[in-house]
Amino acid sequence: MRNIRNVQGFSLFEMVIVIAVVGILAGAAIPSYFNVKDGAKEAIILNTLQSVVTSNSSVLGEALLEGKDDGREKLDEIQLWNGNIVMNSHNLRRVLNTNLEIIDFKLFNLPINEDSSIKHGLYVMHREDYETYKDSAVMPKCFVRAVQRKDEAGKVNINTNINKC
């Protein structure tokens, strides 16, 4: 039969010290985590604000083109008042929910992929156009191409091109 006193392990004092050190480290890390989390939330809110302003400008432009800028109207299920978006939660969800697909360049077999100055790039197109592209491999008429590349001086630039319908 084994003698319990000969078994090696941690003493109660050592365990208390380890728990205290872990508690001190956690106490220092948790506020930092919440600061980063709060900063990220703030960035999302500010980005959403810009999205709302941009979306309203876009919807107002469409409303003007379609003559729906006087009184209460609807444009693709979006409620308008004098051409501007009616600010309520259901309406705003419709505005911010888009039918756009964002695709990396690497998914396309195009000559632009062979340009070594391009570091990143993407296409933005309507979801229906993307589905057609996937079936036929023919680029749609309407899309936005955004390319991030380095110039001769090593400075990173972003270039966008719009292929209009």
pLDDT, tens digit, 9 for 90 and up, residues 19-76: 999 999 888 888 887 778 777 777 766 776 677 777 777 777 777 878 887 778 887 7
Question: Do residues 124 and 102 touch, judged by C-beta distance below 8 A?
Answer: yes
Mean pLDDT, residues 68-92 taken together: 76
143 by DSSP, 3-state: which?
strand
Mean pLDDT over all residues of the chain?
76
Break the chain into its structural domains and give their ranges. Answer: 11-97, 100-163
Mean pLDDT, residues 108-133 taken together: 71
pTM (two decimals): 0.42
Mean pLDDT, residues 102-127 taken together: 68
Q: Sign (positive/negative) of CA torsion 77, 81, 83, 84?
A: negative
- Per-residue confidence (pLDDT) for residue 50, from 0 to 100: 76
Question: Do residues 117 and 149 touch, judged by C-beta distance below 8 A?
Answer: yes
Least confident of 1-5, 38-42, 92-96: 1-5
Question: Do residues 104 and 118 touch, judged by C-beta distance below 8 A?
Answer: no
